[in-house]
Structure 1
Amino acid sequence: MWPPVASHDPLPRSMDTALLVFAKVPRPGEVKTRLTPALSAAGAARLYTAFLRDTLRQVLRLNADVRLYLAPPLPDGELDAVPSGVDVHVQTGDGLGGRMEQAFRETLGDGYGQVLVMGSDHPTLPRSFLQRADQALQESGSLCIGPTEDGGFYLLGMSAFYPQLFDEMSYSHGQVFAETLSRAEGTGADVTVLPQWYDVDRPRDLDRLLTDLDDRPADAPNTRRVADRLGLEALA
């Protein structure tokens, strides 16, 4: 069965940093839809499952408590992409911004000093970027953000709660990073911009993904295995 969904009551923590992974349940037709028709809906879901497995594998190696925030609805059965050591939460709130705001509020309220949220669309993201993000938040009143090549961001972190980053914020456009950075700088917090990276959203992103997998095969073994089984070399 699923790992139990965590309550929102303050819990004892083992570390000062919490890393939240925002993801969807990998249902065919509901994830990585822009990779179709290059991939079938089932193939896209298999690839997304591999992304999620590798993302969780990566973050569990960091000095942080890991929480997986899944978009509802959750299935009745198990999701074997969730390893032990990961607390499962349900995303709540109005839209992506509202859901991230609520997740930050809950986690900071549980007593963590640093909270980072990231997605699962970049399985080869260097672990050093995450380590730099955690380091950037060691002082109170700090923010960090990692931009993506398409104008969004792959990570957002804070050591204090800044709800103004989310108020009436719109997403899924090419100015998300720029607007979020502008809002961050307006808070008066110490803002760190991390190195740029990329999301795997469209068929054209597969070539870069495969290059990364060839260069660092140990970083994302699940994605490497599924990529081979799906024949992504022929699609890139």
Structure 2
Amino acid sequence: MSKKNNNLLLIFTRNPELGKCKTRLAAKVGNKAALEIYKFLLAHTVSFTRKLEAEKQVFYSEAIWENDIWDNHIYQKKLQNGLDLGVKMQNAFQDGFDSGFEKIIIIGSDMYDLSQEDMEKAFAKLDDHDYVIGPAEDGGYYLLGMTNFKKELFENKAWGTDTVLSHTLEDVKTENHFLLEAKNDVDLYEDIKDIEAFQPYLKHIEE
């Protein structure tokens, strides 16, 4: 292992292609604006992860892009592998633990509210907790971290619904876990309409 304390950050991302990302947001703002917003969120994710003291792996949804916003010298690039989100995440975690990492955290790439400080806190909580979870305000989670692989976390979940967090907490209720503060991920127009940073992408929207 490197000097990076056996920390591994998994970043799940969609290839930013017109009509293929942020579809629920696109229903209100249109495909073009949704793509621009997603690219903005990708750039933000790079900004708060690139200097983090951890190995970093980006998992693409469709295909690995060699020359894009994710610097090849900073991020190892992989392809998501599995039939649903649970299997894909399970495979990524399993591979990480098999490679010798001791603390592994996964995030998506649509979190405007996350910072490098938040990520450092999450890894630090894994020093004395087996699991760390960042609850999303929509009933899912924006971050999941662990020091012990637990496949139940990836099974029997209705991914993308508001039951994911409650079912995940049920899985770890007898485990040593820590809950981070709830944050808002970006899925819908309502998630961003009052945030100043997104206004340039929303000028064409009529309330």
TM-score (normalizing by structure 1): 0.79
Question: Once the two structures are superposed, what CA deviation does each residue of 1:161-198 show, in whole Å capped at 9, x if it has no partner?
Answer: 11111123221111111110110124xx3100000000
8 Å contact from structure 2 (residues 33, 202) kept in 1: no
Question: Once the two structures are superposed, what CA deviation does each residue of 1:193-222 show, in whole Å capped at 9, x if it has no partner?
Answer: 000000111111113432xx4xxxxxxxxx
* Match among 106, 110, 117 for residue 106 of structure 2: 117
Q: What is the correspondence of 1:35-184 to structure 2 with a 5 Å cutoff?
A: 35-72=25-62, 74=63, 78-83=66-71, 84-139=73-128, 142-184=130-172
8 Å contact from structure 1 (residues 170, 176) kept in 2: yes
Query: Which stretch of structure 1 is more off in the superposition, 58-67 or 101-110?
Result: 58-67
Q: Which amino acid aligns with 1:170?
A: A
**Which whole-Å CA distance do the structure 2 matches of 1:231 and 1:205 have between them?**
12
Q: Which amino acid aligns with 1:184?
A: V
Q: Which amino acid aligns with 2:30?
A: S
Query: For residues 127 and 138 of structure 1, do their structure 2 counterparts lie closer, same or farther at Cα, with a shift above 3 Å needed?
Result: same
SS of match in other structure, 1:66: strand
Query: For residues 52 and 208 of structure 1, do their structure 2 counterparts lie closer, same or farther at Cα, with a shift above 3 Å needed?
Result: same
8 Å contact from structure 1 (residues 38, 235) kept in 2: no
**Which whole-Å CA distance do the structure 1 matches of 2:87 and 2:172 have between them?**
16
Gaps of 5+ in 2: none
**Which whole-Å CA distance do the structure 2 matches of 1:79 and 1:202 have between them?**
29
SS of match in other structure, 2:193: helix
Q: Which amino acid aligns with 2:130?
A: S
**Which whole-Å CA distance do the structure 2 matches of 1:155 and 1:179 have between them?**
15
8 Å contact from structure 1 (residues 143, 157) kept in 2: yes
SS of match in other structure, 1:38: helix
SS of match in other structure, 2:167: helix
Query: For residues 163 and 116 of structure 1, do their structure 2 counterparts lie closer, same or farther at Cα, with a shift above 3 Å needed?
Result: same
**C-alpha RMSD of the superposition:** 2.1
**Which whole-Å CA distance do the structure 2 matches of 1:24 and 1:87 have between them?**
15
Shift, 1:231, TM fit: 4.3
8 Å contact from structure 1 (residues 69, 90) kept in 2: yes
* Match among 177, 187, 191 for residue 177 of structure 2: 191
8 Å contact from structure 1 (residues 93, 102) kept in 2: yes
Q: Which amino acid aligns with 1:161?
A: F
Same amino acid, percent of matched pairs:
26
Q: Which amino acid aligns with 1:89?
A: K
Query: For residues 41 and 162 of structure 1, do their structure 2 counterparts lie closer, same or farther at Cα, with a shift above 3 Å needed?
Result: same
SS of match in other structure, 2:118: helix
Question: Once the two structures are superposed, what CA deviation does each residue of 1:29-52 show, in whole Å capped at 9, x if it has no partner?
Answer: 110111224323122112112211
> Is 1:207 aligned to 2:193, yes or no?
yes
SS of match in other structure, 2:58: strand
How many corresponding residue pairs?
Answer: 205
Shift, 1:97, TM fit: 0.5
**Which whole-Å CA distance do the structure 2 matches of 1:175 and 1:232 have between them?**
33
SS of match in other structure, 1:205: helix
Shift, 1:123, TM fit: 2.4
Q: Which amino acid aligns with 1:157?
A: G
Query: Which stretch of structure 1 is more off in the superposition, 122-131 or 86-95?
Result: 122-131
TM-score (normalizing by structure 2): 0.90
Query: For residues 206 and 115 of structure 1, do their structure 2 counterparts lie closer, same or farther at Cα, with a shift above 3 Å needed?
Result: same
